[in-house]
Amino acid sequence: MSSKYQNILILTGAGISAESGLATFRSSNGLWNNHRVEDVATIEGFQRNPALVHDFYNDLKKEIQKAKPNPAHLAITKLQKEYPAANISVVTQNVDTLHEKAGNKNVYHIHGQINQAVCLNCGHILETFGDVDTETICPHCEVMGMMKPNIVFFGENLLYMDKVEPLLRQCGLFISIGTSGVVYPAAGFVQTAKYYGADTIEFTLETTNNNYLFDKHVYGKAGETFPQYVEQLIKG
């Protein structure tokens, strides 16, 4: 791998947040924090029972507010501060704000953010860690009951793809941390980066579905392995 990169793209998934104590969505049992995914992460579920969905994300907000970034998050901040003259961006599938808490910059939440709600009437995005429910009034259009958690539900389009696609084409180094390689289109990001000539490396606990697309695999807890890698990268 090159000792100097101009553009680095870091993709993070549920595994990096799990090391901070946040529950991951496990497709094997279809549950997320003891709720059926169909009930809390689909537009049909929201239309069927918006109060339940709001309660779920309001509770998740409280859980996320207590969570603290771990050494892997902090190592990203160190890399962004100390790696010379590089543009380093973070694309995350996580809806938590641990990247922001750790001081990471250039973060793109392609699955949305827990501390945001979007008005289905006018498109205004409300940023709050307070509760949002069926009686919340949009501060922009003043219509009540149209706020939806700004979370990308199954079947909805990812956010920020107009920003992510150029980053994938331009990066010289693509790093994946804590992703399963199962959820598309994010699982295909490495393929795009590799096609355009990027070096690719993954930090994972276990073999991923798309592991054959990575030049290097580092197994173990990212909070332990990734900071060591960052130190090596900074030293060149």
> What are the angstrom distances between the C-alpha of 174 and each of 12, 33, 170, 221, 226?
11, 30, 10, 19, 13
Q: Is 111 a catalytic residue?
A: yes
Q: Which of 99, 111, 140, 217 is catalytic?
A: 111
- How far apart are the C-alpha atoms of 106 and 5, rounded to whole Å? 17
CA torsion 38→40→43→46, rounded to 10°? 120
Catalytic machinery residues: 111
